[in-house]
Amino acid sequence: MPDPNGFLRYDRRLPARRPVPVRIMDWREVYPPAGEELIREQATRCMDCGIPFCHDGCPLGNRIPDWNDLVRTGGWDAAVESLHATNNFPEFTGRLCPAPCEAACVLGLGGQQPVTIKQVEVEIADAAVARGGLRPQPVPAPTGKSVAVVGSGPAGLAAAQQLARAGHAVTVYERDDALGGLLRYGIPDFKLEKRHIDRRLAQLAAEGVRFRTGVDVGVDVTAVHLRAEHDAVLLACGALQGRDTPETPGRALRGVHQAMTHLVAANRVVAAAGEGRPALATLPDGTPIDAAGKHVVIIGGGDTAADCLGVAHRQGAAGVHQLDLYPEPPADRDAARDPWPTWPWVLRSYPAHEEGGARVFAVAVQEFVDDGTGQVRAVRIAEVTVEKVDGRRIVTALPGSEREIPADLVLLAIGFEGTEEQPLLSQLGVTRNGRGAVDARPDWQTDADGVFVAGDMHRGASLIVWAIAEGRAAAAAIHAYLGGAGTLPAPVDPARQPLAAR
């Protein structure tokens, strides 16, 4: 029986982050482990309310009150089992999820701080490793059916694991030289050290999943070949088409780049250092790209922008400005606008924001300014207001508000425009919709029979937790399509949206 008064006895507490002056000297994760005493105390704050809205907040339907109570009572092995029943990769979500479950925690109704659900999750995930490692599950007799998964991000890997555990022969194709999708070369190590991915990949391999890296499907192997070789195909290629701003004067100057160009280059240097290889951060054409000693301007306010900020500080930037089109959000939930248990519009500060840099809200870039040699030397910005009229965004600059910010390196982190247009799609006869995503029928099939889609490629740029949930659900649909015995768990359907006020 959970403790109904725990939240009255204990305040919400998280483990202290590593000190800023220490952590910006390396690429290691920012959070140290919480320690058993703290995490059991925090799990005690979960009262196991009658209708746990956190379940609906979490796209995976994680059994949060169950594992909170198991942690409270020290039942770590059972907590590990309960968490893995709904989530293939809690070590990723426990570190990186923005935790919509916490926004939906019933404690928020009474003005209390939510349970530290995400922290409890990562502690259980790490306990799984500490208590004997991620042991492969025994796989059933082969079904004789085979599935190709294109893309090794969290959606593709979750689907691959579910299908392999159901007895299907699964091959994951990845065009990069290493597996993990955005978790590998998009998200920096200070948020997710790559050993977590490698450990999980070893488990998948031991369960029979085969991996083919360095294979760009549609180029190195045709989709026709893939369809001939496999009984079903899952597309999990992500939404990697970066939004640009070609109309802004000076966009073609040297030093103005897509954020992902910089992040991937930086992550590759860290990966090489881990293997004892020296490496330079370079663009694909070999041009160096590094923030050391530079004035950096990051345009955008989301995860990608915050990751660029943390990278710039670790590379030794002279100064960093982060520009956001929208006004500074409030510190607390506006219940009229975003009633509990929906996801509130509030100021989100990432650990990277503690490390320095200036955030500038309600501004838009008017020009990237040339130093006379074709290299950017500043951005000219104006204060703006943003309105929605008939669903369209109208940005109006305030007259006389223009000014310059020095800039040697400008990073565009202004979002993604869906999945990339690539030969694979035309070979399969699959088209992108108006948002650049690939539509799925209720059974996760695309317009091409036997070809399924999941993750960001279907949903548009989203979150790891949604990618895993869609990967699991698409795997269930593929299992049914292949005539597999029984059913696999399907936490979401293709039309499922986050909790929202109607």
Ligand X SMILES: Cc1cc2nc3c(=O)[nH]c(=O)nc-3n(C[C@H](O)[C@H](O)[C@H](O)COP(=O)(O)OP(=O)(O)OC[C@H]3O[C@@H](n4cnc5c(N)ncnc54)[C@H](O)[C@@H]3O)c2cc1C
**What are the CA-CA distances from residue 253 to residues 373, 377, 402 (Å)?**
9, 9, 20
Q: Which stretch binds ligand X (CB under 6 A): 139-147, 212-220, 371-379, 430-438?
A: 212-220
- 424: partner contacted, choices ligand X, ligand SF4, none (Cβ within 5-8 A by kind): ligand X
- Residue ranges in 439-498 that form contacts with ligand SF4 under rule CB under 6 A: 465
- Pick from 210, 185, 425: nearest CA to 307: 185
Cis check for the bond before 341: say yes or no (omega within 30 of 0): yes
- Pick from 148, 184, 133, 86: nearest CA to 428: 148
Check binding of 473 to ligand X (CB under 6 A). Answer: no
Check binding of 101 to ligand X (CB under 6 A). Answer: no
CA within 13 Å, CB half, 384: 21
d(CA 201, CA 157): 8
- 418: partner contacted, choices ligand X, ligand SF4, none (Cβ within 5-8 A by kind): none
Check binding of 462 to ligand X (CB under 6 A). Answer: yes
Residue 103 Cβ vs ligand SF4, minimum distance, rounded to whole Å: 9
Total binding residues for ligand X by CB under 6 A? Answer: 40
Q: Which stretch binds ligand X (CB under 6 A): 20-28, 77-85, 144-152, 372-380?
A: 144-152
On whether the CB atoms of residues 433 and 152 are closer than 8 A, the answer is no
- The nearer residue to ligand SF4, 60 or 298, going by C-beta atoms, is 60
d(CA 502, CA 499): 9
- Pick from 166, 171, 168: nearest CA to 151: 171
Check binding of 94 to ligand X (CB under 6 A). Answer: no
- 121: partner contacted, choices ligand X, ligand SF4, none (Cβ within 5-8 A by kind): ligand SF4
- Residue ranges in 87-106 that form contacts with ligand SF4 under rule CB under 6 A: 93, 97, 99-101
Check binding of 62 to ligand SF4 (CB under 6 A). Answer: yes
Residues 6+ apart with CB under 8 A from 19: none
Check binding of 464 to ligand X (CB under 6 A). Answer: yes
On whether the CB atoms of residues 467 and 480 are closer than 8 A, the answer is no
DSSP string, 415-465: -B-SSPP-HHHHHHT----TTS-----TTSB-SSTTEEE-THHHH-S--HH
Q: Which stretch binds ligand X (CB under 6 A): 19-27, 33-41, 214-222, 490-498?
A: 214-222
407 exposed, middle or buried (CB, 10 Å; 0-12, 13-18, 19+)?
buried
Give the DSSP H or E segment for 200.
helix 195-206
Check binding of 309 to ligand X (CB under 6 A). Answer: no
Check binding of 184 to ligand SF4 (CB under 6 A). Answer: no
d(CA 211, CA 244): 33
d(CA 423, CA 131): 45
Check binding of 58 to ligand SF4 (CB under 6 A). Answer: yes
Check binding of 153 to ligand SF4 (CB under 6 A). Answer: no
> From residue 229 to residue 268, what is the string marking binding to ligand X with x (rule CB under 6 A)?
-------xxx-x----------------------x-----
Q: Which stretch binds ligand SF4 (CB under 6 A): 55-63, 125-133, 409-417, 447-455?
A: 55-63
Check binding of 357 to ligand X (CB under 6 A). Answer: no
Check binding of 120 to ligand X (CB under 6 A). Answer: no
- The nearer residue to ligand SF4, 56 or 439, going by C-beta atoms, is 56
- The nearer residue to ligand X, 384 or 448, going by C-beta atoms, is 448
Residue 381 Cβ vs ligand SF4, minimum distance, rounded to whole Å: 35
Q: Which stretch binds ligand SF4 (CB under 6 A): 28-36, 116-124, 239-247, 377-385?
A: 116-124
Residues 6+ apart with CB under 8 A from 353: 306, 309, 359
Task: Report the Cα 206 to chain-centroid distance in Å.
Answer: 25
Residue 101 Cβ vs ligand SF4, minimum distance, rounded to whole Å: 3
Q: Reading across the β-sheet that carries 146-150, which strands appear in turn?
A: 210-213, 169-174, 146-150, 232-235, 451-453
Check binding of 384 to ligand X (CB under 6 A). Answer: no
- The nearer residue to ligand SF4, 90 or 357, going by C-beta atoms, is 90
Residues forming contacts to ligand SF4 in the complex (CB under 6 A) are: 57-58, 60, 62, 64, 93, 97, 99-101, 117-118, 121, 465
Residues forming contacts to ligand X in the complex (CB under 6 A) are: 96-97, 150-156, 173-176, 181-183, 186-187, 191, 216-218, 236-238, 240, 263, 303-304, 307, 422, 424, 455-457, 462-465, 467
